[in-house]
Structures are given as C-alpha cells and as structure tokens.
C-alpha cells in the first residue's frame, strides 16, 4: 500500500507458543514450491530511545538490526489503524557499523528528534532466529516469517514465537485464508503487539494491568465500509492486548476490558448492520456474545467482592462468618479466573477471533458488488453517524423516562441502550470537531457516563441480591439496598440533564 511517497508494509501478525514453531515449519504448506528458496536468518536487534522513552510515546520504533554482515537501520512510525493487518510507515537504510546513522534519518519520522540525538541510547536488545520464505497462496504472493525470539530484560529473559504474514502481491483475503488454514493445525493468536512493544514491556518496572480502548480516527468523507473496518480493528486490538494480560496473570481490570472490547465490537456490527450484511454476520455476533458471557461470571464476582464485601471489611474485622463468606467468594473468583484462562486458551476462542478478523477484512460482505451493497458501503460515514446517533439518542430519552417506575431488568435495558449510544459517540468522535460540537459532545459524554455509572450501581445491587445465599451476606447487602432510592433519584436527574442538551451531531 502507498501513502504518498512514504513506504508502507501490510502484514498480519500471529502469536504462538515457541515450542510449536517446529510444527508450523513442518507443515506441508512450507514444503511446497515457493518463489524463492527458504532462508534462515539470525537477527540481532538493538532498539534505541531517550531515557524518558520519547520515541515510544510518539509511536516511533528505532532499531539497528544485524543480519550476517549487514546492519540495517529501521525507523517505523505507527499510524491510525486502517484495518486488522498492521500498516505502518517504514524507512530502512543499510548503514556502516552498529551506531545510528542520523544522516539517513533526516527524511523520516525521527526528524523532529534529531535535535536531541545525544540523548538517544540503546534501551534493549533482541535476538531471533527467522525462517523466511515466499509462498504462492490463492492469487497472492505472501512472505512468511517464522520467528523464535528472545528479549533480555532487566531481571529475566523472555522468549516468544511469532508468525508474520506479509502481503507482497494480491488480496487481504488470501492473507487471512493462509492464516486460517495454519490455525486449524496449530493455535495461532491474532496479535497487534510489535517486537518493540514486547521489548518495552520486558524492561518495564511495572506489569501492565489493563489497557483501555484507544481513539478511533475517521474522516468525514470516508466510506462506511472503511470506517467499520477501522473501528473493528480498534476493538480487536483492545481485546487482544488484554487477552495477553489475562493469559499471564488474570487481573480484574483486564477481564473487564476484554468484556468491554467484545461489547464494543458487537455494538459496531449492529451499528453498521446494513453495511456488513451477509450470511456470516449474525453468526459472528453470536460467537462474540458467547465469549463475553464466559467472562461474565468472573466479572460479576469481581464487582460483588469489590463493591459489597470489601467495603464491609472494617466493620466485620472480627466477624468469623464474614471472613468465611469473603474466603468462599475469593475461592469462587479464583475458579472463575481459571475458567476464563481455559476459555481464552480453547481452540474455539482462538479460531473464533481469527475468523472474526477475516470476516471484518475480507468477508463476503466486502466482496458483494450488488448495487444495494455498494450504495450502503460507499455511503459517507458522516451521514451514517448523524443518522445512527440521532436514532439512539431518541431511544435513550424515550426508554429512560420514569426510571423510578421501572423494575431492575428494565433499568438494566436502559443502561444497555446508553452503552450503545456511548460507543457510537466514541466511535464517531473524530467526525464532530467543528464549531461548538466538541463542547456539546463533551457534555453529552460526561452526562451519559454519569447516568451509565448510576444505573450500573443499581444493577450491581440487583445482581448482588441474586448472589446472596447466607444471612451474613444478607446483612451486608441491606446497606446496599438502602441506597437504591437515592441512586434512582440521581439517575432521573441525570436523564433530565441529558434531555436538555443540544445535539452535537447535527452540522
């Protein structure tokens, strides 16, 4: 792909256990005739940054890689996601020696930092044995790199296995087709993590406990199909970076973020349902719902322990029944976390994510060239955004009237509609910047967030009532029930404020 005169790379990155790399290499796909002979490379890379990691914060990776007697200086700059496949600006130069050549970096993303070049220094080193070859697959030529890597951190060494599929000629459908064929034999996880990110994590003093959704960057004249792919890529990245955290050490916040990512992705499919209409759409949504539901028990236990049991700890310090109750719920939570880890390690989950990614980027809906499909897909996203946000706004105002008269399940449904409206507003955030739209949008989001939080507390109390099975728990929960009246009053006031706000999406 090209962006002006800046070179681009389009690749699909997959992660697998290092001990499965030989199984991939032994696959018949790699034994067939290819466009060139297989190559083995022993790569030694040094990554550079400033002491405060200014390059990393700017989305730039800067490395020198030694391969045999060659030293290649590479600068990569991350760009807003434009699909599942990674797309980055990249500049490569062969240099003399193993020190940076800043002359070769003058027309790259590193240029703004050349004035502080004396502060740029090595931050970590990485070695990898790479098996490289080009394959014909479908109508495409795909370069396959199988990496067995090692990162030397401050206190330990980290190993990893990666499979990178880079499209040299052809279509993304073939890129995903090859990935899915391989994944049917060896578990391959979709990955958005670059080698630079792996290295920075290895030298970090603190473990990452969760990653929130990143911003989505759209343009008003962009087609609805392009916008859907960008939004969905953001949701999948959000999901998979938290998946990596949960696989290593389950964290309550990371489990929650995985559920949020799955909800956001399902909301995006609903938002663009006419654009992505095909036989697989509803199956994909159902599979994403299955994933979210399996994370639900752990999340419910996290919330109950954090919001009901923990606040009662001080006043029940010497209460044996309370201590036993807390211990019982902690044990249930550990069992739920184990179930989460088992789920995300299952072939159904791993392959389901890859199938979803393939459908987003190269599903039947993408290939549908019927007149009605083309009209829906090529519609400017700004038009769709204004229509859909307006419709969801009216629904929230209508269903949220008289919250005091609704039962807990009905209030929960109002909360779900608020989430859908918030997600749509966040997805389309970059489209509404002019005039007073930014201020009006900020007011709307803060009010929606407050209303969602209040209704969330009411839902937590309702869920907690269903979870109570002992007199000790019931006594604690009475304090929560006493807050219901005040929370409903607060929610009604927040809903009235929402109804008074000016529409931010009308231009």
Q: At what angle do helices 224-248 and 381-399 cross, to 10 degrees?
A: 70
Measured at the CA of 321, the angle between CA 320 and CA 327, to 5 degrees, comes to 90
Least confident of 75-79, 192-196, 344-348, 472-476: 472-476
pLDDT of residue 82: 61
- Residue 90 bridge partners (DSSP): 76
Do residue 192 and residue 318 come from a single domain? Answer: no
pLDDT of residue 474: 64
Is the model's pLDDT at 350 over the cut of 70? yes
> Residue with structure tokens 């719920």?
329
Do residue 429 and residue 316 come from a single domain? Answer: yes
Among candidate residues 54, 59, 100, 57, the one with its CA nearest the CA of residue 76: 59
Do residue 488 and residue 344 come from a single domain? Answer: yes
Alpha-carbon gap, residue 207 to 418, rounded angstroms: 33
Domain finish residue from 206, 230, 253:
206
Decide if 112 is inside a domain.
yes
Do residue 349 and residue 494 come from a single domain? Answer: yes
Alpha-carbon gap, residue 397 to 477, rounded angstroms: 31
First to last CA, the chain: 33
Is the model's pLDDT at 252 over the cut of 70? yes
CATH of the domain at 82: 2.40.320.10
Is the model's pLDDT at 457 over the cut of 60? yes
Give the confidence band of 226 by pLDDT, cuts at 50, 70, 90: very high
- Domain count of the chain? 2
Alpha-carbon gap, residue 356 to 228, rounded angstroms: 13
pLDDT of residue 87: 59
pLDDT of residue 490: 95
Give the confidence band of 5 by pLDDT, cuts at 50, 70, 90: very low
pLDDT of residue 88: 65
Decide if 292 is inside a domain.
yes
Is the model's pLDDT at 472 over the cut of 60? no
pLDDT of residue 327: 93
Do residue 132 and residue 8 come from a single domain? Answer: yes
Decide if 218 is inside a domain.
no
Give the confidence band of 172 by pLDDT, cuts at 50, 70, 90: confident
Do residue 186 and residue 314 come from a single domain? Answer: no
- Residue 135 bridge partners (DSSP): 142
Decide if 115 is inside a domain.
yes
pTM: 0.88
pLDDT of residue 85: 59
**Which pLDDT tens digit goes with each residue over 59-105?**
999 999 998 899 999 999 976 656 665 556 889 999 999 999 999 99
Residue 247: which residues within 8 A CB-CB, separation 6 or more?
341, 344, 345
pLDDT of residue 280: 96
pLDDT of residue 79: 66
The Cβ of residue 12 has, within 10 Å, a number of other Cβ atoms equal to 26
pLDDT of residue 467: 64
Do residue 364 and residue 455 come from a single domain? Answer: yes
pLDDT of residue 4: 31
Decide if 270 is inside a domain.
no
Decide if 453 is inside a domain.
yes
Chain-wide mean pLDDT for the chain? 89
Alpha-carbon gap, residue 190 to 12, rounded angstroms: 8
Classify residue 434 by its DSSP letter. S
Give the confidence band of 3 by pLDDT, cuts at 50, 70, 90: very low
DSSP-derived 3-state class of residue 270: helix
Decide if 223 is inside a domain.
no
Is the model's pLDDT at 274 over the cut of 90? yes
Which token pair is 339?
């179930």
Three-state SS string across 80-138, please? CCCCCCEEEEEEEEEECCCCCCCHHHCCCCCHHHHHHHHHCEEEEEEEEEEEEEEEEEC
Is residue 174 classed exposed, middle or buried when 0-12, 13-18 and 19+ CB atoms within 10 A define those classes? Answer: buried
Give the percent of the chain with pLDDT over 70: 92
Is residue 116 classed exposed, middle or buried when 0-12, 13-18 and 19+ CB atoms within 10 A define those classes? Answer: exposed
Is the model's pLDDT at 107 over the cut of 70? yes
Classify residue 139 by its DSSP letter. T
Domain finish residue from 206, 223, 251:
206
- Residue 161 bridge partners (DSSP): 16, 148
Do residue 194 and residue 301 come from a single domain? Answer: no
Which token pair is 294?
């399996």
Is 166 in contact with 143 (CB distance < 8 Å)? yes
Do residue 335 and residue 481 come from a single domain? Answer: yes
Distance of CA 120 to the CA centre of its chain: 30
Is 355 in contact with 193 (CB distance < 8 Å)? no
Domain finish residue from 206, 233, 256:
206
Distance of CA 161 to the CA centre of its chain: 20
Half-sphere exposure of 260 (CA within 13 A, CB side): 19
Is 48 in contact with 62 (CB distance < 8 Å)? yes
Is the model's pLDDT at 460 over the cut of 80? yes
Classify residue 223 by its DSSP letter. B
pLDDT of residue 29: 82
Do residue 346 and residue 459 come from a single domain? Answer: yes
Is residue 151 classed exposed, middle or buried when 0-12, 13-18 and 19+ CB atoms within 10 A define those classes? Answer: buried
pLDDT of residue 1: 31
Is the model's pLDDT at 143 over the cut of 80? yes
Q: Residue 30 belongs to what domain range?
A: 2-206
Among candidate residues 194, 176, 189, the one with its CA nearest the CA of residue 14: 189
Is the model's pLDDT at 310 over the cut of 80? yes
Is the model's pLDDT at 479 over the cut of 70? no
Give the percent of the chain with pLDDT over 90: 71
pLDDT of residue 348: 94
Is 235 in contact with 213 (CB distance < 8 Å)? yes
Give the confidence band of 304 by pLDDT, cuts at 50, 70, 90: confident
Among candidate residues 244, 252, 264, 248, the one with its CA nearest the CA of residue 297: 252
Decide if 375 is inside a domain.
yes
Do residue 297 and residue 152 come from a single domain? Answer: no
Mean pLDDT of 438-465: 90
- Residue 13 bridge partners (DSSP): 164
Q: Are strands 70-78 and 157-169 parallel, antiparallel or unpaired?
A: unpaired
DSSP-derived 3-state class of residue 484: helix
């Amino acid at each position: 792909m090209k962006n002006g005169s800046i070179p681009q790379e389009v690749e699909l990155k997959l992660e697998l256990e290092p001990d499965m790399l030989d199984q991939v290499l032994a696959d018949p796909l790699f034994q067939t005739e290819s466009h060139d002979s297989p190559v083995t490379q022993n790569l030694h890379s040094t990554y550079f940054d400033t002491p405060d990691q200014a390059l990393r914060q700017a989305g730039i990776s800067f490395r020198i890689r030694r391969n045999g007697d060659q030293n290649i200086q590479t600068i990569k700059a991350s760009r807003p996601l434009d699909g599942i496949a990674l797309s980055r600006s990249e500049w490569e130069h062969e240099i003399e020696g193993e020190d940076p050549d800043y002359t070769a970096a003058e027309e790259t993303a590193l240029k703004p930092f050349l004035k502080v070049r004396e502060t740029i220094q090595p931050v970590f080193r990485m070695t990898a044995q790479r098996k490289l070859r080009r394959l014909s697959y479908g109508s495409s030529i795909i370069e396959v790199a199988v990496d067995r890597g090692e990162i030397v951190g401050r206190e330990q060494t980290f190993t990893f296995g990666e499979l990178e599929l880079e499209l040299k000629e052809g279509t993304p459908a073939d890129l995903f087709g090859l990935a899915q064929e391989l994944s049917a034999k060896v578990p391959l996880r979709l990955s958005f993590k670059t080698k630079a990110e792996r290295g920075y994590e290895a030298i970090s003093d603190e473990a990452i406990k969760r990653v929130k959704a990143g911003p989505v960057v759209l343009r008003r004249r962009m087609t609805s199909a392009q916008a859907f792919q960008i939004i969905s890529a953001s949701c999948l990245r959000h999901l998979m970076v938290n998946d990596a955290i949960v696989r290593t050490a389950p964290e309550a916040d990371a489990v929650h973020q995985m559920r949020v990512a799955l909800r956001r992705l399902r909301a995006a499919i609903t938002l663009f349902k006419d654009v992505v209409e095909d036989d697989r759409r509803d199956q994909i949504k159902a599979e994403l719902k299955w994933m979210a539901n399996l994370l639900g028990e752990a999340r419910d236990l996290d919330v109950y322990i954090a919001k009901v049991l923990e606040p009662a700890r001080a006043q029940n310090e010497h209460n044996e029944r309370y201590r036993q109750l807390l211990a019982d719920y902690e044990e249930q939570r550990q069992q739920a976390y184990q179930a989460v880890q088992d789920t995300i390690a299952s072939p159904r989950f791993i392959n389901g994510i890859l199938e979803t990614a393939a459908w987003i980027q190269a599903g039947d809906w993408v290939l549908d060239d019927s007149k009605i499909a083309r009209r829906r897909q090529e519609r400017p996203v700004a038009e769709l955004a204004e229509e859909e946000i307006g419709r969801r706004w009216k629904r929230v105002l209508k269903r949220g009237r008289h919250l005091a008269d609704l039962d807990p399940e009905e209030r929960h449904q109002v909360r779900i509609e608020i989430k859908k409206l918030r997600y749509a507003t966040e997805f389309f955030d970059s489209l509404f910047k002019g005039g007073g739209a930014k201020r009006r949008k900020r007011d709307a989001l803060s009010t929606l967030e407050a209303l969602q939080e209040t209704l969330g507390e009411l839902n937590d109390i309702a869920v907690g009532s269903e979870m109570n099975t002992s007199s000790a728990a019931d006594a604690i929960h009475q304090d929560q029930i006493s807050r219901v009246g005040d929370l409903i009053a607060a929610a009604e006031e927040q809903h009235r404020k929402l109804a008074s706000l000016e529409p931010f999406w009308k231009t």
